[in-house]
Amino acid sequence: MLLINLNGRLVPEEKALISVFDHGLLYGDGVFEGIRAYNGRVFKLDQHIRRLYRSAKTILLVIPLTQKEMSQAVVETLKANHLKDAYIRVVVTRGKGDLGLDPRKCPKPTYFIIASRIQLYPKEFYEKGMEIITVPTRRNGVEMLNPAVKSLNYLNNIMAKIEGNNAGAAEALMLNEEGLVLECTGENIFAVSGKKLVTPPLYLGVLEGVTRDVVMELSSQAGLVPFEELLTRHDLFNADEVFLTGTAAEIVPVTKIDGRVIGTGRPGPYTRKLMSLFRKLTEREGTPID
C-alpha cells in the first residue's frame, strides 16, 4: 500500500485527497520537484529542495515548512514506504480558494510528497540511443512564464510532447522565438564537439537542472571542458555526440535529430563515460534514508 505525505500526514493513496477548489488543480498555481533515491540515499536532496523554495519565492508562495523540515519529510515518506530506490515528487500548491484567480483567496498552501518508482525510457534508449524531433511549439519566454520556475503549469511542455508523440518521437526539442535550442520537454540538452561540452545558457530561460549541474561537474573527469553557449539545430546536427539529462531520465544518448544521424549513430564514448561516472556517483552520494 502506497503512503502519501499529505500536509504532514501519511495516508493511503486512495485517501490522499485535495479540494476541487485547490488552485494547483484549477490553475496550475504551485511548484514541484522530482527527486531520485538510489541504494538507500536521496541524491542531491538539498539542491532539489533549494530549487523548490526558489521557485516558490518567485511566485510568492510561502511553503509551510522550513527547507530542513521538507527534506526530513521526504526521507520519512521513503521510510514509510520501505523504498531504497525511488522517484519522489514534492508538490506545493497555492491551496484551497474560490473559483477566481486571486491567490489572496487561498489562505493555506497544500503540500504532498509521493514516493514511488519511475521508468521514463526503455533500456534500449540508453544502450542504442534515442531519436528526437524539433516541434513547432516554442518554449515559454523568460518574461512569459519563466521555465526556471518548476511550476504546475506544464501545458507548454505537454503541447510539445503531444507534437513529438504525434510524429512518433520519444522526445521533443524546443526552441525559443529566435530559433535557438533551449531544452526538451523534460530534459536539458548537451552537445559534444571535440572536447567541448556545450549546453544552452540559463539566461535564455533554460531550467537549471540538478542533473545538468552534476554532468558539468563530472565533465572534466570524462576529458571534456564545459561551456554554456548558444546552440542552433545546425550545431546539434553536426555535433559528435548529443545527450539529454534529467532527474527521471538521468543521462540518455541522442543518436538522431530531425532525421539527421548524430556522430556515428551510436552512443558516443564521452556520453558513455559520463553515464558511468554518474552511476558511480549515485551509488555513493546522497542523504541516507535510514
Question: Catalytic site residues?
Answer: 150
Please tell me the distance from the alpha carbon of residue 289 to that of residue 76, in angstroms, as a whole number.
8
Task: Name the burial class of residue 284, with classes exposed (0-12), middle (13-18) and buried (19+) by CB atoms within 10 angstroms of its CB.
Answer: exposed
